[in-house]
Structure 1
Amino acid sequence: MARPSRSAAKKPRLRALPGRAAPAPEAPSDAEATLAYARSVLEAEARAILGVMERLGDDFLRAVQLVRDCRSQVVVTGMGKAGHIGQKLSATLASTGIRSVYLHPAEAVHGDLGRVGRGDVILALSNSGSTEELLRLLPSFKRMETPVIALTGDAKSPLGRGADVVLDIGAIAEACPMGMVPTASTAALHAVGDALAMTVLRSRPFGTEDYALLHPGGKLGRSVQRVFELMRTGPANPLVRDTSPLSAVVAVMTKTPGRPGAACVVDKAGKLVGIFTDGDLRRRVESGLTDFTVPVRELMGKNPRCVTPETLVLTATAQMRELRVDQLPVVDVEGRAVGLLDVQDLLAAKFV
């Protein structure tokens, strides 16, 4: 009987290494399970925030009063994730007219504590209430006679016991597979900070114009900007008397700084009676009318649409679009031409 060839012989089996289990096949990804878990994280954080609502009481009212009546600055401090929440809280307070700075606890013990002075109010954030860097600052805060508001998850913690006012968010289960990563607790701290800042804002005389003053950039700042902030005034405001010849009007439009495409026509009292534009000049020349000795009062556009210095720039911009003009005269309450709003200035300010 013939022997089997070597190639047909059985191959030796690979044995697993001692102490190691054979790797399990990788389970396919489950999109629905992934989304369900993500939703559970949001639900846990929402529950944490709703749970804090029931805890607001007299201490919250005291905290509102301390922050509202602060005559110096609100110093916000915290370590780690709570510190990041604190930085946002400080920025929110500052943006709503409350002077506020963020103080890093670790830097504070090495000299930055000099940023704090009598008359300040301290907002200290720590979920555990036992953050060592924060606790080291409490004696100094006491000596400076600066009241401390603690935002913490444990009112009986060292921070809670050392504070003048405690905003207790309670023990919160984190929305984390390990139950350790600050998630639901920081959401609650964030929400309480916002509630405090907005309640203080509501109790103070601070309106949209005040808010815009602190936000000069972007869409928000533009939304409440007034014409007087952009209009051309003084030597940049092209004014001509109604008795001036067309040649003088052209000279004014040419020599005025910024080369506006129009001139405001005024009477002897300085009141606006008309406007003459580059377009008016171009149409005359195209029609063969080249007599530059004609008084501008015979050529100007009479009763022009105009705005006041206090008009919102957005309103003036909409008016210019509607009229399809590039300039709008600006007049005061007595009808005197005090400025000119030019489309080039609107472009530079990103209104158009």
Structure 2
Amino acid sequence: MTRTFVTIDGNEAAAYVAHQVSEVIAIYPITPSSPMGELADEWSAQGRTNIWGTVPTVTEMQSEGGAAGAVHGALQTGALGTTFTASQGLLLMIPNMHKIAGELTPTVFHVAARTVATHALSIFGDHSDVMAIRPTGFALLASGNAQEVMDLGLIAHAATLESRIPFVHFFDGFRTSHEVLKIERLEPDDIRAMIDDRLVAEHRARALNPERPVLRGSAQNPDVFFQAREAVNPYYLACPQIVQRVMDRFAQRTGRAYHLFDYVGHPEADSVIVLMGSGAETAHEAVEALIKQGRRVGVVKVRLYRPFSAAAFLDALPPTTRRIAVLDRTKEPGTLGEPLYLDVT
């Protein structure tokens, strides 16, 4: 297949995929994610259709909490929904995210990761916002450049349908969201090939319907609640394998291979850096330069951060590894270490 090369930024890459595979898009602008919602709104106003030939409904809500609530409601009707956000906007979505994940409802939220305001506001990118939503049950998939944003964005939308685990697909604010690159655009046929209509039909069959009444959102006492809460475990245990299978299908289609953890470097490295996001691109270049100088070094790029597959991580490391440096892009005061570091240790 002949594909078109386009020069776009990370926000447009994410919005392109999301618009193609969604029916309901609820938005509320927040820097640096705003262009994703603006582009989706513009495309729908122009009558641009998704892969099923319908124009996605794009609605701007009164806040990010409202956007998440609108997506939650749309998902319960059997629609395919998405939203875009960053920083405090993502925090406002947390109550609905707990419900969406608890109900095992497939969706993807695209996040241009940005610092959460603490002693001061900052519009630039760290991972404090996405780290704050770890307890919600959303899977976390990280991209490092605009090509990865388009590719892994589609992988997230395909994997959420099969796993029933909702995803946050995130990339660094400004460093990736606004970085303009020449990338290979996925064609509608590529996207159709990755989205299984059988899984879409199963999602629709789970919709709330007065013809098939079910009980959801009940109040439960502890003896029942915690048993039901543990029932999600098999879905999360299966999720990493599902994501890897989707990545493998994507590789067969496009020739671009991804893994839960991608290792780049010397095959007998003794020193390895572990990180995710745009920093992994810089580390990649540094590793290649150091290898030419005779250094035995490498870098592990974290793709699927949640659910974290320890087995896949260990498989990615060279057996000669003696030293590991973990570079987080967040600060959690009072802990023994930041989140990625604690997962690795």
Interval of TM-score (by shorter of Structure 1 and Structure 2):
under 0.3
Higher relative contact order (CA 8 A, sep 6+): 2
Q: TM-score, normalised by structure 2?
A: 0.27
Larger radius of gyration, structure 1 or 2? 1
Q: TM-score, normalised by structure 1?
A: 0.27
